[in-house]
C-alpha cells in the first residue's frame, strides 16, 4: 500500500472504511446500538478512514481529508447550490492540484522559520544560482531575494494556479526572480549551485537520483521536512527532530 500513489491509497482507504461499516452493520445483532441515521454513518466512516490513514502512515493532512470527505460530500448533495458553484470549485481545485496524482506532491507552503533557517545555509558571499523545485506560491525565492541580492533565483511549478500567483507576486514586487512553469524532472540540476525542495516522501527517491546524476561536485542539495531514505545528510537544521521545519543538507 505504501508504494502506491497517494491518490490510489486514499481511494482504497475510503472504500475499505465504507465496506467495513456495511459489513459491520450486517453482522451486528439488531439489539446493538448501531447508528441508523445517514449523518451518523458518514461521520463514522470518516473517523474510520482517518484511523486507517494514520495506520498506513499517511501525512496528517490526509487524515483530516479522510475525516471530512464523505461528510462533506453528503453536505454538498443536501445543499441547494447552483450547479455552477460545483463546477467552479472543481476547476479551482484542478488548477491547484491537477498534477498531484501523477507527481504525488501536494501543495506545501514553507513557513517563515523554515525560510530563515534555509538562508543560513546558503553562500553568504559571491553570486550563486538557486532553484526551488515545486515553488508553490513563490514564497521561498521571493524571501531569499531580499537576503541575497547577488543570487540568481528560480522557482519551478507545474500546477497552473500557484505558478500564475507566483508570477503575479513577482510582477507586483518588481522582483527579478524567474518562475518557470516546468516539471523539475525536465530541468538540468547541474545549472544550479543550490537546489531546494519541499516535496513529499514519494518524490524523494527519483529526485535524489536526478541530483546525483546532474549536480556538480561541491553544490548543495537541500530538502525541507523529507530526508533521503538510506542516505545520511551532511547537516541537519531543526528545532525539533523530524519536525516540519527540519532542513536536511547534502554537499554533492
Predicted pLDDT of residue 44: 84
Q: What is the residue extent of each domain of the chain? A: 6-80, 112-251
Cα–Cα distance for residue pair 25/79, rounded to 1 Å? 27
Residue 226 CA from chain centroid, whole number: 11
Residues with Cβ within 8 Å of 128's Cβ and at least 6 positions away in sequence, in order, are: 122, 148, 150, 151, 152, 193, 194
Predicted pLDDT of residue 1: 38
Predicted pLDDT of residue 34: 52
pTM of the model: 0.69
The region, left, alpha or beta by phi > 0 then psi within -120 to 50, assigned to residue 235 is: beta
Among candidate residues 129, 98, 103, the one with its CA nearest the CA of residue 185:
103
Query: Is 111 strand, coil or helix?
Result: coil
| Residue-wise burial string across 4-32, b where 16 or more C-beta atoms lie within 10 A, e elsewhere | eebeebbeebbeebbeebeeeeeeeeeee
CATH class assigned to 112-251: alpha beta
Backbone phi, psi, residue 36, to 5°: -110, -5
Q: What is the 3-class SS of 123-174, one letter each residue?
A: CCCCCCEEEEECCCCCHHHHHHHHHCCCCEEEEECCCHHHHHHHHHHHHHHC
Predicted pLDDT of residue 140: 95
Integer CA distances (angstroms), 12 to 5, 84, 107, 154, in order: 11, 29, 22, 37
Query: Is 6 strand, coil or helix?
Result: helix
What does the pLDDT profile of the chain (252 residues) look like in tens digits?
344 556 677 888 889 988 888 787 777 666 555 555 677 778 888 899 889 988 887 767 678 888 888 888 777 777 776 766 556 565 555 555 665 555 555 556 677 888 999 999 999 989 999 999 989 889 999 999 999 999 999 999 988 888 999 999 999 999 999 999 999 999 999 999 999 999 888 889 999 999 999 999 999 999 998 899 889 999 999 755 445 578 999 999
Cα–Cα distance for residue pair 62/51, rounded to 1 Å? 11
Put the strands of the sheet holding 220-224 in their side by side order: 178-180, 152-156, 129-133, 194-197, 220-224, 247-251, 235-237
Backbone phi, psi, residue 239, to 5°: -85, -25
Amino acid at each position: 500500500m505504501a508504494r502506491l500513489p497517494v491518490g490510489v491509497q486514499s481511494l482504497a482507504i475510503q472504500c475499505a472504511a465504507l465496506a467495513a461499516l456495511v459489513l459491520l452493520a450486517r453482522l451486528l445483532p439488531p439489539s446493538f446500538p448501531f447508528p441508523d441515521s445517514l449523518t451518523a454513518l458518514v461521520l463514522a466512516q470518516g473517523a474510520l478512514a482517518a484511523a486507517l490513514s494514520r495506520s498506513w502512515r499517511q501525512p496528517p493532512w490526509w487524515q483530516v481529508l479522510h475525516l471530512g470527505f464523505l461528510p462533506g460530500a453528503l453536505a454538498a448533495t443536501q445543499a441547494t447550490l447552483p450547479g455552477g458553484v460545483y463546477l467552479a470549485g472543481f476547476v479551482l481545485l484542478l488548477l491547484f492540484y491537477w498534477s498531484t496524482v501523477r507527481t504525488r506532491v501536494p501543495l506545501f507552503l514553507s513557513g517563515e522559520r523554515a525560510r530563515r533557517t534555509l538562508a543560513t545555509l546558503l553562500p553568504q558571499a559571491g553570486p550563486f544560482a538557486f532553484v526551488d523545485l515545486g515553488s508553490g506560491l513563490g514564497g521561498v525565492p521571493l524571501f531569499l531575494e531580499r537576503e541575497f541580492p547577488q543570487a540568481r533565483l528560480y522557482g519551478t511549478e507545474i500546477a497552473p494556479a500557484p505558478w500564475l500567483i507566483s508570477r503575479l507576486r513577482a510582477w507586483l514586487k518588481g522582483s527579478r526572480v524567474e518562475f518557470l512553469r516546468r516539471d523539475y524532472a525536465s530541468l538540468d540540476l547541474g545549472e544550479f549551485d543550490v537546489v531546494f525542495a519541499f516535496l513529499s516522501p514519494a518524490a524523494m527517491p527519483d529526485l535524489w537520483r536526478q541530483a546525483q546524476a546532474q549536480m556538480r561536485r561541491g553544490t548543495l542539495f537541500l530538502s525541507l521536512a523529507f530526508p533521503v531514505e538510506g542516505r545520511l545528510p551532511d547537516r541537519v537544521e531543526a528545532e525539533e527532530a523530524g519536525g516540519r521545519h527540519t532542513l536536511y543538507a547534502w554537499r554533492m
